[in-house]
Amino acid sequence: MRSRFKKWALPFIEEHEEITLSLPFEDKTFFESAPLYLEIGSGKGDFIVSLAERHPENHYLAVERDVSSLGTLAKKIVEKELTNVKIVYQDFDKVAPELPKEGFKTIYLNFSDPWPKKRHSKRRLTAKPRLETYLSLLEKGGELRQKTDNEGLYEFTKEEVEGTAFINLVDEKDYVFDEENDAMSEYERNFRSEGKPIYRLIYKK
Ligand SMILES: C[S@@+](CC[C@H](N)C(=O)[O-])C[C@H]1O[C@@H](n2cnc3c(N)ncnc32)[C@H](O)[C@@H]1O
C-alpha cells in the first residue's frame, strides 16, 4: 500500500544532504568505513532505524522509491541524530550497479510488495535476476533475509532460489519474533496485531 503523498517529504530529503546519497555515488566512504547492511524498500523505516540505534558500529543503507515513506524515515534519522544510516531515493534496480560488489553483510527484504498477478512476477524483489544481483553484492557468508505476510511471495522466493548459490538457513511459516536479533517494521507490527502469521526465510551466500 502506498503511503499518503506528503508534500514536505522531498524538500526535507533534499535539505538533509548529510543523510542522503544520490546517484552516481561520488563519495564511497560510507560503504567502506564500517560493516555494511542494506534494506530494500524500507518504507517508513522503523526496522532500519531500530537496528541502527542498537548497532552504531555498523552502517545501514535504505533504498526506497516512495518519497512519502522515505520522508518519514528521513525525519526519524534526523530527529535521532543517527550518523550510521543513509537513504537513497530511487528504485533498487537503478541503484544496484552503483553498489559495492561483495560489500554487504546482510540484505533485508521486509514485507516487499507481493505483486500477486503472475504477469507482474518479474517485479517481485526475489525474482531470479535480482537474487543474482544480491549474490554479487553480498560478501561470502553474507545473508539475504526476507520476512513477509504473503504466502505466495514466500513460495515464489523458494522457487526462485532453486539453482542459485544461496544456501537456506531458516525457513519458517509462523516466525516467533526474535526480540534480541531482529527489529520490527511498520508492516510487521500491523500484521502481528491482526494475528497474521509471518513467513521468514534466511539464505547464506
Ligand atoms: C509493502 S511496503 C513495506 C515497507 C517496510 N519494509 C515495512 O515492512 O514496513 C514495500 C515498500 O517497498 C518499496 N519498494 C518496492 N519495490 C521497490 C524497489 N524496486 N526499489 C525501492 N523500493 C521499493 C515500496 O515503495 C514500499 O515502500
Q: Select from 2.40.37.10, 3.50.50.60, 3.40.50.150, 3.40.50.980 the CATH code of 9-204.
A: 3.40.50.150
Beta bridge partners of 108: 39, 145
Report pLDDT for 4: 85
Percentage with pLDDT > 70 across the chain:
99
- Residue with the nearest Cα to atom 10 of ligand 1? 112
pLDDT in tens, 160-187: 999 999 999 999 999 999 999 999 999 9
Cβ proximity of 112 and 74 under 8 Å: no
Q: Is 93 a residue of the active site? A: no
* Rounded mean pLDDT, 80-91: 98
Confidence category of residue 1, pLDDT binned at 50, 70, 90: low
Sign of CA dihedral 77, 12, 95, 73: positive
For the CA of 188, the closest atom of ligand 1 is 8
pLDDT in tens, 4-62: 899 999 999 999 999 999 999 999 999 999 999 999 999 999 999 999 999 999 999 99
Q: How far is the CA of 74 from the centre of ligand 1 (A)?
A: 15
Whole-number pLDDT of residue 185: 98
Question: What value does the mean pLDDT take over residues 175-203?
Answer: 97
CA distance 26 to 175: 40
**Ligand 1 mutation target, pool 50, 63, 66, 134, most atoms within 8 A of CB:** 66
Q: How far is the CA of 113 from the centre of ligand 1 (A)?
A: 6
CA 185 to chain centre: 10
Nearest to 140 by CA among 172, 167, 109: 167
What's the rounded mean pLDDT across residues 70-99? 98
Using CA positions, which residue lies closest to atom 27 of ligand 1? 43
- Our answer on whether the CB atom of 185 is closer than 6 Å to any ligand 1 atom is yes
Residue 89, helix vs strand vs coil: strand
Per-residue pLDDT, 87: 98
pLDDT at 145: 98
Number of H helices, E strands in the chain: 8, 7
Catalytic residue among 113, 174, 178, 182: 113
Per the document, the length of the chain is: 205
- pLDDT over 80 (residue 2): no
Q: Is the shortest distance between the CB of 42 and ligand 1 below 6 Å?
A: yes
Is there an atom of ligand 1 within 6 Å of 108 CB? no
Cβ partners under 8 Å of residue 196, min gap 6: 149
| Residue 126 Cβ contacting ligand 1 at under 6 Å | no
Query: What pLDDT was estimated at residue 146?
Result: 98
User: What is this structure's pTM?
Assistant: 0.98
pLDDT band at 63 (very low <50, low <70, confident <90, very high): very high
The DSSP element (H or E) to which 62 belongs, if any, is strand 59-64
Q: Is the CB of 113 under 6 A from ligand 1?
A: yes
Q: pLDDT tens digit string along 107-141? A: 999 999 999 999 999 999 999 999 999 999 999 99
